[in-house]
Chains A and B, each alone.
Chain A
Amino acid sequence: MQKQAIFQSKLLPYALVAPQLAVVLIFFYWPALQAVIQSFLLQDAFGLSTSFVWFDNYVELFRDAAYFEAILRTFFFSFAIAASSLSFALLLAVMADKPLRGSMLYRTLLIWPYAVAPPVVGVLWIFMLHPSLGVLSRYLRALGIDWNPLLDGDQAATLIIIAAAWKQISYNFLFFLAGLQSIPKSVLEAAAIDGARPMRRFWTVTFPLLSPTIFFLLVVNIVYAFFDTFGIIDTMTRGGPGKSTETLVYKVYSDGLLGGNLGSSAAQSVILMIMVIVLTGIQFRFVERKVTY
């Protein structure tokens, strides 16, 4: 697509793109390039000498069992967060899509967690489920559960997943509601006339028509679980206990900035970049296809 009516000017367009180009080059391309270069270098502990080591950092990374565990953990977290948050949000959206009195109020009351920052989400949930002072921990103990996410890795992981999914409900809810409202009512009415009960109508008509939205949200949720959970993890568990809540992004941070292992951290960054590019590519292809439907 091109505009027919345009201006002729030699210098003005460059002046107009210059500010953004400058910011992007300095704060995006330069560091990205640095990450790639750094990933091929090995630096001694004092930063005195560096040598070019080709793919050693990558090879070492893939020989490291801890890295594979972090990959598996990240995918598991992403899947658990996306699945729980998407299913709950879909249930709420289906209910809110019905012609109910006060549906605007419901919508307002459900969308605001979108605006809550990840570290605040972390603080809220660690407070409620803190082993010694958490309000909810009392009930868990009353149920006979030995609840201590500060010591038990599985419980810490559960806590992260609950908090991260909680924050994402509102976002998914909004998109599901928009998706549901774009389904023509006549299709559902036709199915109803054919004698399909509400549950059947949902699974045979609504759900398939909603599948583009579901797929889009799945990708968005995975990207969210990859990156935006950093603040939640850092406030709640700091990757621990042990390494039971250390995701890929958290590992980049803790290896590079806390551990001083720059080459490995950079190699991890590059791998992450590739992963995100693939995910975004999928998203774009899908969005484009959707436009031509």
Chain B
Amino acid sequence: MVEEEGFRRYVAHFILWIGIAIVAFPVYIAIIASTQENALIANGQMSLLPGGHFFETYYQTIFVGTSGSTREPVGNMMLNSLVMALMIAVGKIAISIISAYAIVYFRFPFRMPIFWLIFITLMLPVEVRIYPTYKIVADLHMLDSYAGLALPLIASATATLLFRQFFMTVPDELLEASRIDGAGPLRFFWDTLLPLSRTNMAALFVILFILGWNQYLWPLLITTRDDMQTIQVGIRKMITTTDALTEWPIVMATAVLAMLPPVFVVVVMQKLFVRGLVETEK
């Protein structure tokens, strides 16, 4: 740009660093708090510098849990969250890619009604039909199970739409070519379409993994056993409004641990994630 020199540039740097500071401050506080003694924090005398209890706190958080409220090792909660997030990401991609394939590459009766049935699900998050969904999962005896955690969240159309749009851009010649090579529909799907969709699948996986890992209301409802709890539910159960009972260093360590996998995924897969996000949402 024309007069983008000197002073203005410093202002831009300055504003960006303020933004980063605002964004990072709560996490800094969480990390610091997780290394200090609970008594100090409970007195409202938390220092802004790290304390000496880092290893102790994290060991207790991951392998033992709080001594009061839930007593469930956070390591176990993380495992539950991981299984749930992976099931949602893999499950949604798997069922969406084959249904998008059917809708794009076949003509069959009820094709459009089926497409619309799937498409409409895009509009309603699980929160608005929460109680009846809970009842159905209970009737199907899927409370406290990984299937119960994942399946209702797989029921939405975002991924189907994305794959449909992508398949429409795949040149028809590819299909003609594999047909000449004698490939049937399944072969074409497996040998040609799937490899072409690799980056789309990866971007979608990143977004769905974060979505799954961060679920809260649904797991809160359908898990009653402590050992089936996800980390997002566990952390809320650890905080009580009466201060004395809350073991803040452990809560903060849990918050840090709950952030690690999704933030890691976003930062490492930044390019894929940004592209996937802009493509799915727009």
Contact = CB atoms under 8 A, between A and B. Distances in A.
A and B are interacting partners: yes
Given A21-B99, A120-B232, A124-B255, A111 B270 contact: yes
A21 B114 contact: yes
Nearest to B15: A95
Contact of B118 (A20, A124, A174, A277): A20
Nearest to A281: B123
Interface string A234-255: 1100000000000001001100
Interface stretch (B68-76, B102-110, B195-203): B102-110
Interface string A8-25: 111011101101110111
A9 B106 contact: yes
Contact of A7 (B4, B24, B105, B152): B105
Contact of A198 (B8, B133, B186, B243): B8
A74 interface: no
B185 A128 contact: no
Contacts of B3: 192, 198
A252 B128 contact: yes
B131 A257 contact: yes
Interface in B1-40: 1-4, 8-9, 11-13, 15-16, 19-20, 22-27, 29-30, 33
Contacts of B48: 135
A57 interface: no
Q: In the complex, which of the residues A29, A120, A133, A276 has the most CB atoms of chain B within 10 Å of its own CB atom?
A: A120
Contacts of A235: 235-236, 239
Contacts of B140: 26
B61 interface: no
A189 to B, nearest CB: 7
B12 A95 contact: yes
Contacts of B214: 115-118
B239 A123 contact: yes
A230 B265 contact: no
B265 to A, nearest CB: 7
Interface residues of A, number: 104
Contact of A269 (B1, B114, B129, B156): B129
Majority secondary structure, A binding face = helix
A192 B30 CA distance: 46
B130 interface: yes
A256 B217 CA distance: 14
B2 A256 contact: no
A127 B258 CA distance: 16
B101 interface: yes
Interface of B: 1-4, 8-9, 11-13, 15-16, 19-20, 22-27, 29-30, 33, 41-44, 46, 48, 94-96, 98-99, 101-108, 111, 114, 117-118, 121-125, 127-137, 140, 151-152, 154-157, 160, 167-168, 172, 175-176, 179, 184-186, 188, 210, 213-214, 216-217, 220-221, 232-233, 235-236, 239, 241, 243, 248, 251-252, 255, 258-259, 262-263, 265-267, 270, 274, 277-278, 281-282
Given A1-B168, A7-B105, A230-B217, 19 more contacts: A5-B176, A17-B103, A23-B154, A26-B155, A28-B156, A32-B132, A34-B135, A98-B1, A100-B13, A115-B210, A116-B263, A123-B236, A123-B252, A174-B277, A175-B281, A192-B2, A230-B127, A253-B217, A276-B124
Interface of A: 1, 3-10, 12-14, 16-17, 19-21, 23-35, 38, 88, 91-92, 95-96, 98-100, 106-128, 130, 132-135, 137-138, 150, 166, 169-170, 174-175, 178, 185, 188-189, 192-193, 198, 216, 220, 227, 230-231, 234-235, 249, 252-253, 256-257, 262, 265-266, 269, 272-273, 276-277, 280, 287
